[in-house]
Amino acid sequence: MPYKKIGKEDIQFLKSIVGQTQVIEKNDIEVDFSHDELQTITAFPDLHIFAHDKSQIQAIMTYANQEKIAVTVRGSGTGLVGACVPVEGGILLDTSKMNQIIELDHVNMTLRVEPGVLLMDIAEYVEKEGLFYAPDPGEKSATIGGNIATNAGGMRAVKYGVTRDWVRGLEVVLANGELVSFGGKVVKNSSGYSLKDLIIGSEGTLGIIVEASLKLIPLPKETMSLLIPFDNRTLAIDAVPKIINGHALPTAVEFLEKASLKFSEEFLGKKIPHADYEAYLLVSYDGSTKASVSYDIEAVSDLCLNQLGAIDIYLVDTAERKESVWSARGAFLEAIKASTTLIDECDVVIPRANITEYLDFTHQLSQELEIRIPYFGHAGDGNLHIYFCKDDLSDQAWEEKTQIGFKKMYDKAFEFGGKVSGEHGIGFAKKQYLIDQVGKTQIDIMKGIKQTFDPNLILNPNKVI
């Protein structure tokens, strides 16, 4: 699809919308805005534009649609699949300055926000009010717009679901500049197709989120975690369904192995307590009273020690232990990244029942391809983060091994009924695997939807499908 090459007149017009200083021209664009967090996909836009409100976005889109200029939205750029990288050039539309919390509605238990508000700011704001927005993707400096556009997940998905479950309404600027409202503050909605849910996870290809109404619940007053060591990963992973099917649903069930903990220890430069066992589950419970959470903790401890082969149970209860264990878990991606020259990732989600078999397959593949493949995972929801590490491989060997390796990893996941992405999306990097997973009929339906929302195909071109 040929897009218009941006000229002087376009730049003048766009500056008249947002102000002279809010349009950065090609030669002055910082390299950070040519990639996302993973840095495997890179491309510079022709213009980097900061938007400050929805009317500016409407005006930019009306113009871009008339002139057929490609527009890629960017939040914080913490994505991992090249979704915010402007691979067709054009405008990089930055929403990071639209960062106002608009309204906390105590009666309807909703929070209205602009798209550039950071996840960490939402958590801090609502928790001060005794309220809770449950989705907790690992990268707290991501924007809520980016979280919604990727339907971000996180560790608490086991109990609370993912971003989509916490969005009541969206205001969206369409490709032609029109502002539309999907959903609202209502708790239920059976009114026609759920266009709100279509926008969630659409990675900036169907519309630009300019406002969101998020669902809130009362803040759970008590949270407790357990670090549970096992002799091997099979025992640890086999314990997960029994823990989940037990008496109470945990908030999170994370799977850790000695190898990944060692990366974190090296990266953080500090020792993690009890880090010498082969495999672990990190299990959390929350609730409204200490007694109810203690009851859950005792029940799961009893189950793990007496029936599931756990070696011991470590309560993560003091501030120091919480900081140590959770910071180690939170640092896995950064630690793996720091251990090598380049990484590429596989964020598959598979049925919980197949995790052990899938990880055995990953180990075999690592040996077969002679490439390091560390991983960690949300064992409670079957979402695994598996990283190919370049180390000292040549560029050509890296290309070959990742191509062969990823194809095998995804094909194996599909055998089990798994999906390409559990939470990071498809972006640019995983497009071929989506085709392999869903097939022509579904891709054609998606293309039809794209065509309806964005007939000139200007929004985040060459992504997802």
Ligand X SMILES: Cc1cc2nc3c(=O)[nH]c(=O)nc-3n(C[C@H](O)[C@H](O)[C@H](O)COP(=O)(O)OP(=O)(O)OC[C@H]3O[C@@H](n4cnc5c(N)ncnc54)[C@H](O)[C@@H]3O)c2cc1C
Which of these ranges, 138-146, 361-369, 439-447, 450-458, lies near ligand X under the rule CB under 6 A? 138-146
Binders of ligand X in range 408-427 (CB under 6 A): 423-424
Which of these ranges, 74-82, 125-133, 213-221, 411-419, lies near ligand X under the rule CB under 6 A? 74-82
153 counts as binding ligand X under rule CB under 6 A: yes
Distance between CA atoms of 169 and 226, rounded to whole angstroms? 36
Q: Which two tokens stand for residue 353?
A: 């029942």
Radius of gyration for the alpha carbons in the chain, expressed in angstroms and rounded: 23
Binders of ligand X in range 2-21 (CB under 6 A): none
CB of 178 to ligand X, least distance (A): 15
Beta carbons within 8 Å of 278's beta carbon, 6+ residues apart: 229, 230, 231, 232, 233, 257, 258
Selected from 83, 109, 158, 228, the binder of ligand X by CB under 6 A is: 83
Cα torsion angle, 87, 90, 95, 97, sign: positive
Q: Give 229 or 418: the residue with its C-beta nearer to ligand X.
A: 418
Distance between CA atoms of 428 and 432, rounded to whole angstroms? 9
203 counts as binding ligand X under rule CB under 6 A: yes
Q: Which residue is nearest to ligand X (CB)?
A: 146
Which of these ranges, 22-30, 126-134, 152-160, 276-284, lies near ligand X under the rule CB under 6 A? 152-160
CB of 181 to ligand X, least distance (A): 15
284 counts as binding ligand X under rule CB under 6 A: no
The torsion angles phi and psi of 320, rounded to 5 degrees, stand at -65, -45
Place of tokens 């950065």: 24
CA dihedral 410, 413, 417, 420 (to 10 degrees): -40
Which of these ranges, 78-86, 122-130, 270-278, 447-455, lies near ligand X under the rule CB under 6 A? 78-86
Q: Which two tokens stand for residue 80?
A: 């991992």
Selected from 61, 239, 333, 371, the binder of ligand X by CB under 6 A is: 333
The answer to whether residues 152 and 163 touch, using CB atoms and an 8 Å cutoff, is yes
Q: Which two tokens stand for residue 63?
A: 């113009």
Which of these ranges, 9-17, 79-87, 126-134, 352-360, lies near ligand X under the rule CB under 6 A? 79-87
CA dihedral 75, 78, 79, 83 (to 10 degrees): 40
393 counts as binding ligand X under rule CB under 6 A: no
Summarize as ranges the residues that interact with ligand X (CB under 6 A).
36-37, 72-80, 83-84, 95, 115, 137-139, 142-143, 145-147, 149-150, 152-154, 203-204, 208-209, 333-334, 423-424, 460
